Chains A and B, each alone.
Chain A
Amino acid sequence: MEFAREIYWNIGHDAPVLLPMYLLSLAAMAIAGWGFWLRIRVYRQGKPAVRTADPAGRLALLLKDALGQVKVLRVPGAGTAHALFFWGFALLFIGTLLIMAQADFTDPLFGLRFLKGNFYKAFSLVLDLAGAVSIVMLLGLLVRRFIVRPAGLETKRDDVVMHALLLLILATGFVIEGARMAVTELGTPLASWSPVGLVFAQTFAGLGEEGLKTLHVGTWWLHFALVLGFIGLIPFTKFRHIFTTPANYFLVDDGPKGRLSTLDLEDDTAESFGAAHVSDLSWKDIFDADACTQCKRCQDRCPAHNTDKPLSPMKIVNQIGELAFGSPGNSLIDTCQKEALWACTTCLACQDICPASIEHVSKIVDMRRHLVLMEGEFPGEEVTGAVDALEVNGNPLGMGYASRGDWAAGLPVVILAEDAEVDILYFVGCYASFDKRNQAVARSFVQLCAAAGVKVGILGKEEKCCGEPVRKLGNEYLYQSLAAGNIEQMQNYGVKKIVTTCPHCFNTLSRDYRDLGFAVEVEHYTVFLEGLVESGRLKLQTEPFSATYHDSCTLGRYNDIYGSPRALLEAAGCQLVEMDRHRAESFCCGAGGGRILAEEKLGSRISVKRVQMAAETAAPMLVSNCPFCLTMFEDGVKGAELDGRLIAKDLAELLAARIQP
């Protein structure tokens, strides 16, 4: 027999069918288009943003992330179910398109039929399996949502409608196929190429040809109506993410991760800074709300949310959408709540895991900018004090600036003002300069450089805070002042290469300062030292020890530096026990987002939580690469009462103890 089927069997394919079919389809698409148009008008309330550079690259990214479901799959379980469902549904959609292509174009115009023979066998089989997989996955997601009920997953009417509609569409699809096969294919070899349909056909077999034909045509039109309903509802329900989420893949920020906009503070005409209303945000910020499917992966990973602070990144994104579409005149900050906004540590866990490529952090910082620059508000008196200290002495610790280089006395380091002929400028940072515990890290780094024959220079009292903590808190003005001072000094000395022991300084100098016209090579010490070890300039002796390693947010998620520290740990003889939350899934120490300057007044302590994760590995040592992390972990060990069972160390200290004599 011929392996093909009569397309539109029992339905008909002339004007009384085609006309309403196409007209109604066009109508449904028009409604969807109009629905999106209404939404585009709301996005436009926001400020301009250009996200179209390198369209080919963006398109490639869209195809990879959307078709490949790469981001969705980062979380197995629900992620796998969604991916399989998506592919199943996509295949069914392609199948429908192929049928339309043959029935309305290639066959009537060219007499070409391709839905036959081996192709048709494959076509039938694939679509049957796709449909079956889709239903199973959808049922799985339904069970998750309505029976398992994971904490924090909100279910709204939208979700019920979507589940019901999709299930019905898939089910009616199989009913149609079953009814048709019961009449046209049962008993033929073709039937086994549609195994799921076959089951339905066998179930319906007893209905008799008249009954089956009625069932078939009725369900076909029902299925058609459901699909049109689905199309029309897209922009009005969470279904819109079918378009908005892939669009967000296209519209990504092509700059460094976690990038903040550099405000033009010379602009005399600017009357307002930061975001107080949705119209102060960009259209992309408002659009992000539409790309969100409330999957809560961001919230699940947020260190603030996980320690009972009122912040949920997902909620902030949704609140922006609610205001934009509802009452845009309302205060954005009052809606999102100051305590939630100040709780953010800008760790980027939310942005990193978001399957819709939403940018949570810059929205929060924009609102902080309004609070600081327009209202002069900070999260607490202790922060106001630290800001004052930064303005007077260039460091938040209130130490006299003139003693910034004193830690280096007697060490193999030169002050650039006395000798500018150096191999690297070591940008020390506030904590390593003034904080006793972190001065040990600075000393270790200098010893390692000396052992490798690298001549190190520091700015000493001419160095000021890089400005990152206050920038993240929203004080763009103070950040730019501090940065300008540092840039001037470094340019004066014609510095060619900078190494830092602080990831915040590293990220700020290598990325943020670019916007201010500074473009010198900057490396974090882990990458720098790894280079020295690899080239043989730095020789370490292995002294075995067991430890777990904390990927700091700024080195890890912001800059993707995961390998170099681990290579160094191996060279040092570390038996590394990884925490569950490591690499991109690392859990913040709590000091990011400028919060190193603030007191943690709400909920439980983030540092204690992270330290407990380290303790769970049973390793006696917690190694980190950031002065903020080290400070927080020293605190956290005491707070978690793990004194004596867990010791906090910086990687530099371990390496310095293993320099080959």
Chain B
Amino acid sequence: MKILVCIKQVPDMESKFRINGAGTWYDESDLAWRINEYDEYAVEQGVRLKEQVGEAEMVVLSIGPDRVKEVIKKALAMGGDRGVHVKDDAAFAKDSFEIASIVAEYAQKESFDVIFTGMQSQDRASAQVGVFLAEMLGLPSVTTIVDFSYADGTVTASRELEGGLKAVVKVATPALFTCQLGLNTPRYPTLPNIMKAKKKELLTVEVAELLKVDERLETSRVYFPERKGGGLVLEGDVGEVADRLIAILKEKTTVL
């Protein structure tokens, strides 16, 4: 069985963001980077499927500048067999359609039985790449999975809907799945695996070799949201603030 897991490196969301000079995205300096949280679940599920099937190979792919090799290595340390780094210093400027087509261009050369992606990225949050990729490869796709089980070529997955509801879906492989938070508990890589990962194959491909389409979306500007007027900010001595808040609640609401 061949498994592909697509991952993205994103900034840590606790970082203090600044807008870049061109005003088209965040400034990259002083940011801490990490694997996209949704993708961690994708990697873990890929490794679990690999362990279940036994005769399986898991490929981990990521697009971006050299720093994304760190997240590929982490995924290899969790259990991936080989990595593919699509080198692209301008990945941040590409839209989901371009990203998906780059991956599709790579993936169509190998026939993957199961593809895992995160359901969205923490920074862009478009939730498009996974399904685009599946459609481009002519594969069925199930999004937002919080449960996954595989038996004899068929996958049974649960989609997470609103209000605590789940939808159980069955599909035959080859298929693609986008992963929601809580799908599993991602493992912490063991030291022997971290060391082995350093020796696993990590192929670098120039993005120009794989990008054959034009963008469909244009970003005109990126900015900080304006604080909505009317939002009162209270701070100071805890007791005094509590008194003021109670006074406001008495005035503005009927709860007290």
Contacts and interface: CB of A to CB of B under 8 A. Distances in A.
Physical contact A–B (CB less than 8 Å): yes
Interface of A: 265, 268, 271-273, 372-378, 384, 387-388, 391-394, 398-403, 461, 477
B12 interface: yes
B194 A477 contact: yes
A271 B32 CA distance: 32
A374 to B, nearest CB: 5
B16 A400 contact: yes
B32 A373 contact: no
Interface string B2-39: 00000000001011100000000000001111100000
Interface in B195-212: 195
A384 B187 CA distance: 10
A392 B192 contact: no
Nearest to A271: B192
Contacts of B33: 392
B65 interface: no
A636 B33 CA distance: 36
A42 to B, nearest CB: 29
Interface residues of B, number: 17
A377 B131 CA distance: 34
B142 to A, nearest CB: 27
A400 B15 contact: yes
B64 interface: no
Interface in B178-226: 187-192, 194-195
Interface of B: 12, 14-16, 30-34, 187-192, 194-195
14 contacts: A265-B191, A372-B188, A373-B191, A374-B192, A376-B187, A376-B188, A377-B188, A387-B188, A394-B32, A399-B14, A400-B15, A402-B15, A402-B32, A477-B194
A268 B199 CA distance: 11
A376 B191 CA distance: 8
Contacts of B194: 477
Given A392-B32, A393-B32, A461-B30, A378 B12 contact: no
Nearest to A388: B34
Dominant secondary structure of chain A at its interface with chain B: helix
A272 B33 CA distance: 30
A393 B14 CA distance: 9
Nearest to B30: A402
Contact of B190 (A376, A378, A394): A376
A397 B30 CA distance: 17
A373 B194 CA distance: 10
A402 B31 contact: yes
List 6 tightest A-B contacts by C-beta distance, closest first. A376-B188, A402-B30, A373-B191, A400-B15, A392-B34, A393-B32
Most buried by A among B15, B30, B32, B191: B191
Contacts of A375: 190
B193 to A, nearest CB: 8
B191 A393 contact: no
Contacts of A392: 12, 32-34
A268 B30 CA distance: 34
Contacts of A401: 30, 32
B12 A393 contact: yes
B129 to A, nearest CB: 23
B45 to A, nearest CB: 16
Contacts of B188: 372, 376-378, 384, 387
Contact of B16 (A268, A378, A387, A402): A402
Contacts of B16: 400, 402-403
Contacts of B192: 271-273, 373-374
Contacts of A265: 191, 195
Nearest to A387: B188
Nearest to B16: A400
Contacts of B15: 400, 402
A388 to B, nearest CB: 8
A384 B186 CA distance: 10
Nearest to A399: B14
A405 to B, nearest CB: 11
Contact of B32 (A378, A387, A400): A400
Nearest to B35: A392
B190 A373 contact: yes
Nearest to A268: B195
Contacts of B191: 265, 273, 373-374, 477
Most buried by B among A376, A391, A399: A376
B67 to A, nearest CB: 13
A384 B15 CA distance: 20
Given A393-B12, A400-B16, A477-B194, A376 B30 contact: no
Contacts of A268: 195
A401 B31 CA distance: 8
